[in-house]
Amino acid sequence: MARRAQTGSGRLSRGLLLLWALLGTGLCQAGAEPEGFSQDARTSPPVAVFNWTAQLVEETYTNITQKCWEFFVDLMRNVTASELCEWKVISRPYSLLQACLEGWADHLRYGYPNALAEQYIFQSHHRYFHNCTLEHQVYFDPPEDVLLAMIIAPICLIPFLVTLVIWRSKDGKAQP
């Protein structure tokens, strides 16, 4: 039994040493500072909280996104200039960059999309994909007024044609 108590005491000492080290570096801050040597201050244990400040999260995310970018650049080294505009070739590196940026933002609760992630996406387009043009002509919908005219004209023409057919069929004689 005495050995077990000694092991627990050793764990407590290591825990206090770790807490002291964290408090000394500023990574951990006590929830409340005792104002004096009253009974409550001596008996209540200090509450250790790991304080992720916005600056620390942003700095961490900045460092991680730099690694994401370096990994993307390394993957793009394997892509030849003629393949830069082929989605089948670049989709994997591009998707991995996007997943890395988004995944770490979610993990750090930084928010996505964010300015830093957008900067890397724009940088990828500027560096690798700025010469990509569409090979096939893309068709767009006509303006609304033209589209409306194209829909209404046949609809209005149908009653006129029906009236014409009925009027011509009222003539009792069959026309050869």
Type of residue numbered 33: E
DSSP letter, residue 109: T
Residue 82 counted as domain residue: yes
Longest distance between any two alpha carbons in the chain, whole Å = 124
Render pLDDT for 109-160 as a digit per residue (tens, 0 to 9): 898 999 999 999 999 999 998 888 766 666 788 899 999 999 999 999 999 9
∠11-15-17 over CA atoms, to 5°?
A: 115
Q: Which residue has the tokens 């990828």?
A: 124
28, β-bridge pairs: 50
- Domain CATH for 68: 1.10.150.510
Contact 124, 72 (CB under 8 A): yes
**35 domain residue, yes or no:** no
Q: How many domains does the chain have?
A: 1
Q: Read off the pLDDT of residues 81-116 as tens digits, 9 standing for 90 and up.
A: 889 888 899 999 999 999 999 999 999 989 899 999
Q: Model-level pTM greater than 0.85?
A: no
In a domain? residue 144? no
Whether residue 154 lies inside any domain: the answer is no
Q: How far apart are the first and last CA of the chain?
A: 121
With respect to residue 95, please indicate whether it lies within any of the assigned structural domains: yes
48 domain-assigned: no
Domain with 67 in it: 54-130
Residue 97: inside a domain, yes or no? yes
